[in-house]
Amino acid sequence: MARALRLARRGLYTAHPNPRVGCVLVKAGQVVGEGYHRRTGESHAERIALSAAGEQARGATAYTTLEPCCHQGRTPPCVSALLDAGVERVVAAMEDPNPLVAGRGLDLLRAGGVAVEVGLLAAEARALNPGFIKRMCRGLPFVRCKLAMSLDGRTAMASGESRWITNEAARRDVQFLRAQSSAIVTGIETVLNDDPALNVRLDPVDLPGLRSEETPIQPVRVVVDSRLRLPVTAQLLRLPGQTLVACIDADPLHAAALESAGARLCRLPERAGRVDLTSLFAFLAAQEINEVLLEAGPTLSGAALQAGLIDELWIYLAPHLMGDGARGLFHLPGLERMDQRIGLEILDIRPIGRDWRIRARPAGQVDWASAPRVG
Ligand code: AOF
Ligand code: ZN
């Protein structure tokens, strides 16, 4: 199963909106076939492993990081392929949370006389697909909020100047975070101030799963822009990939100009005069967006945090001080007493070049990698 998990990880940058899945077929202590799901629309892990094994699959055990599917999606069901090949035993790390499968794949295998076990390395398997799991279970994407700050917790000088807080190595690390995300969400203020690209600029050879002739999959760029102030000249409209502008209401002429510049507009319900963020994230999940990277300023990041929409904070900490006149990480109105603090659980801290990366989960947030739902 550990090998199947390593294979599944090769789909980190390419499999979405599908889950990352790996499969290893073992017979008499030997690996006879293996595979991973590379890209939506292409074969599932089990079918790749089965074709590699050929006749050797008869009587083998399949270790798979996700319950085999039993539905006809973009590709045919894996359960029938496993039964036809004569696989004797299937060990799945976790059930498929997709309501079209949800245990039925395992039931069908059992009904076909296959020995079935579920739950081996479940937490590791879940950690591969937090976005897919949360989207299937909650109708919301898994949201990582990325921030860069000085050691004294500042993200910009009072003037708004913020380039660059962190070093090259940290900014490259963020490129990998972007590459595994289906969407990057930012606010209109960030776009007006910085005119960011919000794209993936890595070489395909740096992204496992991508072939050298392929270009990285660009996450959908989402601009939260209640009053539709995005200029048609914004850099992100000219780059490969889709740009979605989330607004409440819009001047029809400006809306038409943005649409002809390639933007997709989406009108959403309002909350206190701004785009309702829960509606926005539910809309993104409905577009099959699994993992979101929020790269925004203190207002939007703070609002998403207070709405309980952030699953993980990814804070890059740079070794310098910016002083107490500079701006803080989150705008959190109404937070006045110590008992109103937002607690965090630090998941890991590691050096990235001269900076440090802190990964933390807001207290009370579900850990999508634990809490396995077995059998
Ligand atoms: C598996 N093995 O490798 C993957 C599975 O549209 P399709 O046919 O690609 O089906 C997508 C669904 O299949 C996806 O939502 C998830 O439930 C399951 N993914 N299942 O047996 C795999 N990637
Ligand atoms: Zn399948």
Residue-wise pLDDT for 320-331, tens only, equals: 999 998 889 999
Residues 147 and 287 both lie in one domain = yes
Claim to verify: residue 212 and residue 177 sit in the same structural domain: yes
Question: Is 258 in the same domain as 321?
Answer: yes
- Tell me the residue type at 83: L
Which residues does ligand 1 sit against, CB inside 6 Å?
18-19, 21, 37, 40, 44-46, 66, 68-69, 73-75, 78, 96, 98, 101
- Print burial letters for 133-167: b (CB count within 10 Å at least 16), e (below 16): bbbbeeebbbbbbbbbbbeebbbbeeeeebeebbb
Q: Give the pairing of strands 344-352 and 154-156.
A: unpaired
Q: Is residue 292 part of a domain?
A: yes
**Which ligand does the CA of 100 lie closest to?**
1
Q: Domain range holding 278?
A: 137-362
Rounded-to-integer distance, Cα 317 and Cα 110, Å: 51
pLDDT one-digit tens code per residue, 327-368:
899 999 999 999 999 999 999 999 999 999 999 999 989 998
Q: Whose CA is nearest to atom 21 of ligand 1?
A: 68
Task: Report the domain count for the chain.
Answer: 2
Please state the atom number of ligand 1 nearest to the C-alpha of residue 42. 9
The answer as to whether 329 is a domain residue is yes
Task: Identify which ligand lies nearest to the alpha carbon of 14.
Answer: 1
β pairing state of 355-362 and 344-352:
antiparallel
Question: Quick one: 175 and 324 in the same domain?
Answer: yes
Residue nearest to atom 10 of ligand 1 (CA): 73
CA 180-167-194 angle, 5° bins? 75
What's the token pair of residue 94? 């976790």
User: Does residue 320 share a domain with residue 174?
Assistant: yes
Final residue before a domain boundary, out of 78, 100, 128: 128
Ligand 2 centroid–CA 117 distance in Å is: 17
Ligand 1 atom closest to residue 22's alpha carbon, by position in its atom list: 3
Which of 367, 356, 366, 297 has its CA nearest to residue 169?
356
Q: What is the CATH number of the domain that holds 86?
A: 3.40.140.10
Residue 114 placed within a domain:
yes
Ligand 2 centre from 246 Cα, in Å?
A: 34
Domain assignment present for 375: no
Please identify, by atom number, the ligand 1 atom nearest to the C-alpha of residue 78. Answer: 21
Same domain assignment for residues 118 and 159: no
Question: From the CA of 280, how far away is ligand 2's center (Å)?
Answer: 30
CATH number at residue 354: 3.40.430.10
CA of 178 to the centre of ligand 2 (A): 27
Query: How remote is the CA of residue 28 from the centroid of ligand 2, in Å?
Result: 25
Please report which ligand is nearest the Cα atom of 76.
1
Minimal CA–CA distance to 301: which of 85, 104, 145, 131? 145
**CA geometry: angle 17, 23, 29, nearest 5 deg:** 170
Name the residue with tokens 């960030």: 190
Closest ligand 1 atom number to CA of residue 36: 3
Lookup: tokens for 99 = 């309501």
Residue tagged 């996700």 (tokens): 66
- Domain annotation covers residue 368: no
- Is the bond preceding residue 99 a cis peptide, omega within 30 degrees? no
Task: Please state the three-class secondary structure of the chain as a single string.
Answer: CHHHHHHHHCCCCCCCCCCCCEEEEEECCEEEEEEECCCCCCCCHHHHHHHHHHHHHCCCEEEECCCCCCCCCCCCCHHHHHHHHCCCEEEECCCCCCCCCCCHHHHHHHHCCCEEEECCCHHHHHHHCHHHHHHHHHCCCEEEEEEEEECCCEEECCCCCCCCCCCHHHHHHHHHHHHHCCEEEEEHHHHHHHCCCCCCCCCHHHCCCCCCCCCCCCCEEEEECCCCCCCCCCHHHCCCCCEEEEECCCCHHHHHHHHHCCEEEEECCEECCEECHHHHHHHHHHCCCCEEEECCCHHHHHHHHHCCCCCEEEEEEECCCCCCCCEECCCCCCCCCHHHCCCEEEEEEEEECCEEEEEEEECCCCCCCCCCCCC
One-letter amino acid identity for 150? S
* 171 in the same domain as 104: no
- Residue 371: predicted pLDDT: 54
Residue to substitute in 96, 104, 288 for testing ligand 1 pocket (most ligand atoms within 8 angstroms of CB): 96
pTM value is: 0.94
Q: State the pLDDT at residue 374.
A: 43
| Beta-bridge mates of residue 301 | none
Gap between the Cα atoms of 249 and 246, Å rounded: 9
Longest CA pairwise span in the chain (Å): 70
Q: Does 122 lie in the same domain as 66?
A: yes
Residue 42: its pLDDT value, please? 94
Separation of 189 CA from ligand 1 center, angstroms?
38
Determine which residue's CA is closest to atom 3 belonging to ligand 1: 44
User: Is 262 contained in some domain?
Assistant: yes
Tell me the best of 12, 69, 106, 289 to mutate to test the pocket of ligand 1, counting ligand atoms within 8 Å of each CB and taking the most: 69
Structural domain contains residue 373: no
Same domain, 89 and 159: no
Best residue for ligand 1 mutational test, from 10, 18, 23, 106 (most atoms within 8 Å of Cβ): 18
- Same domain membership, residue 74 and residue 156: no
Question: Given the structure tokens 């030997």, which residue do they identify?
Answer: 30
Pair (204, 278) in one structural domain: yes
| Boundary residue ending a domain (70, 99, 128) | 128
356 falls within a domain: yes
End-of-domain residue from the set 86, 102, 128: 128
CA 315 to CA 334: how far, in whole Å?
23
Walk along the chain (375 residues) and give the pLDDT tens digit of each residue: 999 999 999 999 999 999 999 999 999 999 999 999 999 999 999 999 999 999 999 999 999 999 999 988 888 999 999 999 999 999 999 999 999 999 999 999 999 999 999 999 999 999 999 999 999 999 999 999 999 999 999 998 888 888 889 999 999 999 999 999 999 999 999 999 999 999 999 999 999 999 989 999 999 999 999 999 999 999 999 999 999 999 998 899 999 999 999 999 999 999 999 999 999 999 999 999 999 999 999 999 999 999 999 999 999 999 999 999 888 999 999 999 999 999 999 999 999 999 999 999 999 899 987 755 543
Residues classed as catalytic: 46
Q: Are residues 63 and 173 in the same domain?
A: no
Give the residue among 193, 213, 195 at the shortest CA–CA distance from 204.
213
CA distances in angstroms from 197 to 177, 186, 194, 301, 308, listed in the order given: 15, 11, 9, 19, 27
